[in-house]
């Protein structure tokens, strides 16, 4: 399980978001971070 805590800055202040991901990959922060960013890059292009 991957636990990701983000602090995005919004026009009306800073907030926080918590994301959980399930993965069968080894626990490697650099690789898992890259995969998560790629996923959201594709997801954001669809909207």
Asked if the model's pLDDT at residue 47 lies above 70, the reply is no
State how beta strands 9-10 and 13-14 pair.
Answer: antiparallel
Are 37 and 43 in contact by the 8 Å Cβ rule? The answer is: no
Asked if the model's pLDDT at residue 31 lies above 80, the reply is yes
Average confidence score pLDDT of the chain = 81
Could you tell me the pTM of the whole model? 0.55
Is residue 5 left, alpha or beta, with left meaning phi > 0 and alpha meaning psi from -120 to 50?
Answer: beta
Asked if the model's pLDDT at residue 21 lies above 70, the reply is yes
In 3-state terms, what secondary structure has residue 5? strand
């Amino acid at each position: 399980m991957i636990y990701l805590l983000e602090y995005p800055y919004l026009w009306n202040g800073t907030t926080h978001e918590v994301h959980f991901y399930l993965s069968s990959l080894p626990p490697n922060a650099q690789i898992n971070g890259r995969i998560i960013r790629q996923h959201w890059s594709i997801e954001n292009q669809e909207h």
